[in-house]
Amino acid sequence: MATLKDVARESGLTVGTVSRVLNNRGYISDKAREKVEQAMKRLNYQPNEVARSLSKSSSNTIGLIVPHIRHPYFIEMISHLEYQAYQKGYRILLCNSRNMQEKEREYIDICTGNKVAGIILCSGTVPVEVFDKIGITVVTIERFLDNGTAAVECDNRQGGVLAAEKLIACGCRHLLHVGNIGGVFMPADMRTEGFREVCEREHVHFEEILTEEIQYDSMMYEDMLEEALRKYPETDGLFVNSDVIAAQTLQACGRLHIPVPERLKIIGFDDVFLSTLTTPQLTTIHQPAKEMAEIAVNLLHDSVSGKVVPKRTVLPVRLVERGTT
């Protein structure tokens, strides 16, 4: 079995240089890094991660806690985060909390027990005081913690503004918004705030509906949507908080024989791959998941390296018009 000394000999570098490459510590030239990687491949060298983490205050692992691994938005976000982490020399420890507070607490304990370099948190059920005690970098995505290291969000309020303005520009005068889970405040609630502001400013009638946690967990909204469209039959413009809900709105419209976009115009949120698979394709608010993931990993890496990082980063969104408007 190859050793660290074997890799150093094969690459023509010192043991210290090889160690710095493996631990992503200090300045390493691209040429030296490539030599080490090639030598490791030739020797089939596998670093002992357990030993490395024991010898350091932290490992080259990032704990990633998400509330849902089936939801298209989180599938995309996980993919971007894993790629960006790999580019920085980190591995991902993926934890699916299912929005359960006890699971999230357990995963935080697992992350600290495994000496992760930091945690990227995309879930939001654990009380903020928990993070006072763990003593490691915590970067949140679409959640803000006063005691967190940094937060990355999209401009949710602007997303609601863009959706309302687009529907009104299309001639819609009876608007309906399907928002976040009732009783659980998240930055996504600002979509509702932006939507409401425009409707009130333009004196356009609107209704708001909150979703339930059971619907979010199961991703089954069709019954609720069908009931809402029956309750508000005059609705001619609909803004919903995700492309998953928007896609299921199309299915509900099909059963109720409501033509889209002729009779009802629909705008989703996220701009995940699903938005291009429906008929018609979904008009939606593009959330810059790729850029958010890159910034989150960079913030974590910089914080771990001892740099001062901005507390809050908000990225712009944009409207992507397709067939439902």
Q: Are 234 and 175 in contact (CB under 8 A)?
A: no
The CA distance from 80 to 324, in Å, is 27
Among 95-109, 126-140, 189-203, the range with the most confident prediction by mean pLDDT is: 189-203
Side chain identity at residue 238, one-letter code = L
In this predicted structure, the answer to whether residue 229 has a pLDDT above a threshold of 90 is yes
What are the angstrom distances between the C-alpha of 112 and each of 67, 100, 102, 167, 311? 19, 19, 16, 47, 22
Q: Are 68 and 50 in contact (CB under 8 A)?
A: no
Pick the closest to residue 237 from 215, 191, 268 (CA basis). 268
The CA distance from 265 to 236, in Å, is 6
Q: What's the pLDDT tens digit per position in 260-277?
A: 999 999 999 999 999 999
Side chain identity at residue 225, one-letter code = L
Strand ranges in 16-126 using DSSP code E only, listed in sequence order: 61-66, 91-96, 118-121
Side chain identity at residue 234, one-letter code = E
Instruction: Output the pLDDT for position 40.
Output: 87
Render 122-180 in DSSP notation, one character per residue.
----S-GGGGGTT-SEEEEES---TTSSEEEEE-HHHHHHHHHHHHHHTT--EEEEEEE
In this predicted structure, the answer to whether residue 101 has a pLDDT above a threshold of 90 is no
Sign, Cα dihedral of 226, 232, 236, 239: negative
Instruction: Output the pLDDT for position 185.
Output: 73
Residues 6+ apart with CB under 8 A from 249: 221, 225, 238, 240, 266
Instruction: Output the pLDDT for position 184.
Output: 64
Query: What's phi and psi for 265, nearest 5 deg?
Result: -105, 140
Q: Which residue has tokens 């339930």?
A: 212
Q: What is the mean pLDDT of the chain?
A: 89
Render 216-261 in DSSP notation, one character per residue.
HHHT--HHHHHHHHHHSTT--EEEESSHHHHHHHHHHHHHHT--TT
Pick the closest to residue 206 from 255, 170, 159, 167 (CA basis). 167
Domains of the chain: 4-47 (1.10.260.40), 61-154+290-315 (3.40.50.2300), 156-288 (3.40.50.2300)
The CA distance from 205 to 166, in Å, is 15
Q: Which residue has tokens 């309750």?
A: 231
Task: Out of 135-139, 206-210, 243-247, pick the least confident.
Answer: 135-139
Average pLDDT over residues 133-145: 86
In this predicted structure, the answer to whether residue 231 has a pLDDT above a threshold of 60 is yes
Instruction: Output the pLDDT for position 4.
Output: 83
pTM score of the predicted model: 0.81
Instruction: Output the pLDDT for position 48.
Output: 62
In this predicted structure, the answer to whether residue 53 has a pLDDT above a threshold of 60 is no
What are the angstrom distances between the C-alpha of 226 and each of 142, 161, 233, 322? 29, 25, 10, 23
74 pLDDT band, cuts 50/70/90, is very high
54 pLDDT band, cuts 50/70/90, is very low
In this predicted structure, the answer to whether residue 224 has a pLDDT above a threshold of 90 is yes
Residues 6+ apart with CB under 8 A from 193: 157, 160
Give the length of the chain.
Answer: 325
Output the six-digit token pair for 62: 């990032």
State percent of the chain over pLDDT 70: 93
In this predicted structure, the answer to whether residue 25 has a pLDDT above a threshold of 70 is no
